Amino acid sequence: MSMNFLTKKAAAAALLLAFNISASEFEYSGKIGIEERYFFAGGQYEEQFEHWQTSFSVEPEFTWNWNDGVDSLVFTPFYRFDAQDEQRTHGDIRELFYIHVGDDWEFRAGIRKEFWGVTEFQHLVDVINQTDGVEGFDGEDKLGQQMLNLSLVRDWGIIDLYLLPGFRERTFPGEEGRLRGPLVVDKNNVSYESSAEDKHIDFAARWSHVLGDFDIGSYWFHGTNRDPLLTPAQNGQTLVLRQYYNQMDQLGIDVQATIDDWLWKFESIYRSTKAEDFGAVQAGFEYTYVGVFDSFTDLGLLMEYGWDSRGEAGASAGANVQNDLFLGSRIAFNDMQDSEVLMGFSTDLDHNAFSILVEASRRFGDSFKANLDFRMLQSSEYTDQLYSLKDDDHLQVSLDWYF
């Protein structure tokens, strides 16, 4: 076959692709935000900034659809500039993937975010994406993950198969940053159990189904642990934390039952590594009073309990929850502005430690949304994780413009 023929064939394919894209439907949306944090106390550690932290973020989303929506391409970049912590100034491709929809299957390829979980205060089963640790304290923000995903729809449930080539290291606050411990995590001092390091290919398989009032999911994951083991190391004359990522097999299950005004929630995992095997559970409920006092407002009451079989050893290994009780309330005003408030209180039943959170949001007009977040983190025992954050109580206010 001549090179000239190949060139002509490639040119014809390019023209066909250009025609398909020009005939496609293009949509764009996104948000631009400004965020202000105020820490009530000065920095607990040397080099930390004192009180104010200002940042700006942009997160557009571009979508192309063609073949009557059978084929789609989604691109969601993200960038944040932070005036105080250079590690928090960062960009990421949250999503950049192609999707094809068949009669009873879907195929997705690229960079995506995949969320699993039903509980409110901790998502044990959420394992695919790496945590973007500089974005927020609660671990809700995730980095994009490279993947191939085949989803098969059957009468007895949905089977999702994942091939995950490549690994993302967790992000951490820098030397000037707040919401960190006494030692800074060195982003350049990283090691892996696998000889393939961050190029290890991970696998996951998940089954999910709706059975009456129950939404059920279960999975198996094999690959690089998203939770790094942090150990002290020397960086010149400075003591820092070194990241180590081991290999793991993890089984997970999540169940949510909707029964009248009750939401019953359960998540559990079993993780096996060369160093240890352990199990963990997060379970609870949410009861909603619909139209309290004959109004349009709904009031939800939440309670969850978190347990880790490692106990105190789990806390020292980085587990955020090992014997903790969570209480909360959710208020949905059901107004034109989508006003909502979530309040929560958590306490460690083994230590004199607790945290309080308040999250509120409200739309203004068609394009603006204001968010308020308050965090109080208190502990009197220096062995507890929250002790290293005891001076990081803060109020965060943000305003997002949606387009």
The pTM assigned to this predicted structure is 0.90
6 located within any domain: no
42 located within any domain: yes
Q: How far apart are CA 29 and CA 37, in angstroms?
A: 26
- Residue 306 contacts residue 287 (beta carbons within 8 Å): no
Q: What percent of the chain has pLDDT over 70?
A: 93
Q: Which two tokens stand for residue 135?
A: 């974005």
Report angle CA 86, 90, 93 to the nearest 5 degrees: 170
Other Cβ atoms less than 10 A from the Cβ of 24: the count is 16
Higher per-residue pLDDT: 59 or 137: 59
pLDDT by residue (tens digit) across 261-296?
A: 999 999 999 999 999 999 999 999 999 999 999 999
Domain containing 61 equals 22-402
What does the pLDDT average to over 21-42?
A: 90
1 located within any domain: no
pLDDT by residue (tens digit) across 317-357?
A: 667 788 999 999 999 999 999 999 999 999 999 988 999 99
98 located within any domain: yes
15 located within any domain: no
Q: How far apart are CA 305 and CA 215, in angstroms?
A: 20
- Three-state helix/strand/coil letters over the chain: CCHHHHHHHHHHHHHHHHHHHHCCEEEEEEEEEEEEEEECCCCCCCCCCCCEEEEEEEEEEEEEEECCCCEEEEEEEEEEEECCCCCCCEEEEEEEEEEEECCCEEEEEEEECCCCCCCCCCCCCCCCCCEECCCCCCCCCECCEEEEEEEEEECCEEEEEEEEECCCCCECCCCCCCCCCCCCEEEEEEEECCCCHHHCEEEEEEEEEEECCEEEEEEEEEEECCCCEEEEEEECCEEEEEEEECEEEEEEEEEEEEECCEEEEEEEEEEECCCCEEEEEEEEEEEEECCHHHCCCEEEEEEEEEEECCCHHHHHCCCCCCEEEEEEEEEECCCCCCCEEEEEEEEECCCCEEEEEEEEEEEECCCEEEEEEEEEEEECCCCCHHHHHCCCCEEEEEEEEEC
Quote the pLDDT of residue 23.
58
pLDDT by residue (tens digit) across 190-228?
A: 999 999 999 999 999 999 999 999 999 999 999 999 999
Q: How many domains does the chain have?
A: 1
What does the pLDDT average to over 40-50?
A: 95
Using left for φ > 0, alpha for ψ between -120 and 50, and beta otherwise, residue 127 falls in alpha
The torsion angles phi and psi of 208, rounded to 5 degrees, stand at: -140, 150
pLDDT beyond 60 at 3: no
- Residue 204 contacts residue 127 (beta carbons within 8 Å): yes
Q: How far apart are CA 139 and CA 141, in angstroms?
A: 6
pLDDT beyond 90 at 125: yes
The separation between the first and the last C-alpha atoms of the chain, rounded to the nearest angstrom, is 50
5 located within any domain: no
What CATH number corresponds to the domain at position 111? 2.40.160.100
- Residue 401 contacts residue 35 (beta carbons within 8 Å): no
2 located within any domain: no
176 located within any domain: yes
Q: How far apart are CA 228 and CA 66, in angstroms?
A: 41
Q: How confident is the model at residue 241 (pLDDT cuts 50, 70, 90)?
A: very high
pLDDT beyond 90 at 37: yes
What does the pLDDT average to over 37-43?
A: 97
